[in-house]
Structure 1
Amino acid sequence: MDASIRTWLAELESADKNVQYEALQNLLAATDTKVDWAYEMWGPLLGWLTDRDNHRRSRAAQLLSNLARSDPDQRMLADFSKLWAVTYDPKFVTARHTLQNIWKVGLAGPEQKSMVVTHLADRFRTCSDEKNYTLVRYDIIAGLKKMYDERNEEEIKRTALSLIDSEEDLKYRKKYAAVWS
């Protein structure tokens, strides 16, 4: 891990929210491709998933989602449940940031893709009792679209379109379908 990465990690703890935000953006950009230092961050980030600070939980979830592609030991297969739990975070914005990024785990390999698609599809089908469930469903459909755009696998598209077709409210069915237009 180079000095800039260490600096950005330290800046995540800054009292200045702008410094924190810029550090997060830099770390997300740095982890948008494979890196060889993922496991140096992995343990601390896992710990942050349950931190009392919702900003830490959100950052950890976003960064771990990105780091999944840099996981040759496939730790994410065992740790995914901890990451997935943050999609139910009491702070909706934290849950939503996690849900909007968790699709990236599916880029790490076929097992990870299958795991993510299954979890997203199950959540779509069962979230109607949740507050803001239409946003949750929208984020699921958008995440599946992003994964499809990266992987170009028809199974992902079929799953998403099937979920969209299962939406009973025509207004939301159209909104979700527009993601795939």
Structure 2
Amino acid sequence: MDTQMKLEFKKSKTGDKDERYEAYQKILEVTDQKVDWAYEVWDQLLEDLTHKDNHQRSRAAQYLANLAKNDPEMRMLKDFPKLWEVTKDEKFVTARHSLQSIWKVGIAGTPQKELVMEYMVDRFKNGTDEKNFTLIRNDILQNMRNLYNHLHDEAIKQTALDLIETVDDQKYKKKYEGIWK
């Protein structure tokens, strides 16, 4: 990792609000592409998933999701449950930002895609007791749409459509169907 990226990670934790946001944007932009330094920050990001500052938890989750495609050792298969926990964070904004980026893990390869889909399907089916479950369901279906758009895997689309069919509330069913129009 070059000095500039090290500085961006430092600023994303310690800078003032504007510096942190700018660094966050830069890190997401860079990690959207392949990088060769993922493991230099991997363990720290895992640790940050339980940081006392919810912003740090959210950023760590988003960075890890972006870095999953840079994981030839397939650590994510073991570490995914820790990442998934942040999608259930006590701070809903943290949970939601983490959940909205989780699909990126699925583009790393077939085992990662299957893992992400398994977790999302389970949450869609069994998460109705969660606060804001309709928003969570919406994010899950949008994640599936993002995965489908990236991978063109018809099984993902079919899974999403099958889940939508299980929704009784017509208002939300229509909203969810809109994601797949």
TM-score (norm 2): 0.98
Structure-2 residue corresponding to 1:3: 3
Q: Report the Cα offset of residue 54 of structure 1.
A: 0.4
- The answer as to 2:76 corresponding to 1:76 is yes
In structure 2, what is the equivalent of residue 91 of structure 1?
91
Residue in structure 2 matched with residue 32 of structure 1 by the alignment: 32
Q: Distance in 2 between matches of 1:138 and 1:3?
A: 39
> Aligned letter for 1:14?
T
Name the CA distance, whole Å, in 2 between partners of 1:13 and 1:78: 26
What RMSD in Å do the two structures reach over aligned CA positions? 0.7
Q: CA deviation at 1:10?
A: 1.0
Task: Provide the aligned length of Structure 1 versus Structure 2.
Answer: 181
- For residues 90-131 of structure 1, give each alpha carbon's deviation from its aligned partner in whole angstroms, at most 9, with x where no partner exists: 000011011000010000100000000010011000111110
Correspondence for 1:156: 156
Contact 2:24 2:59 in 1 (8 A): yes
- In structure 2, the residue matched to 1:177 is 177
Q: Distance in 1 between matches of 2:60 and 2:8?
A: 13
Per the alignment, in what secondary structure is the counterpart of residue 128 of structure 2? helix
What is the DSSP-based 3-state SS (H/G/I as helix, E as strand, rest coil) of the residue aligned with 1:128? Answer: coil
Q: CA deviation at 1:15?
A: 4.2
In the alignment, which residue of structure 1 is the partner of 2:120? 120
Runs of 5+ consecutive residues of structure 1 not aligned to the other structure:
none
SS for the counterpart of 1:88 is coil
State the alpha-carbon separation in 2 of the partners of residues 27 and 52 from structure 1: 21
Give the 3-state SS of the residue equivalent to 2:13 in structure 1: coil
- The one-letter code sitting in structure 2 at the alignment partner of 1:143 is N
With the length of structure 1 as denominator, give the TM-score of the two structures.
0.98
Q: Does 1:140 align with 2:140?
A: yes
Aligned counterpart, 1:65:
65
Deviates more, 1:142-151 or 1:7-16: 7-16
**Residues 105, 116 of structure 2: 8 Å contact kept:** yes
Unmatched tracts of structure 2, length 5 or more: none
Give the aligned residue type for 1:148.
Answer: Y
Q: Identity, % of aligned pairs?
A: 53
Please list every run of at least 4 consecutive aligned residues from structure 1 whose deviation after the TM superposition is greater than 6 angstroms: none
For residue 89 of structure 1, give the secondary structure of its aligned residue in structure 2.
Answer: coil
* Equivalent position SS for 1:64: helix
Within a 5 Å distance, the mapping from 1:6-17 to structure 2 comes to 6-17=6-17
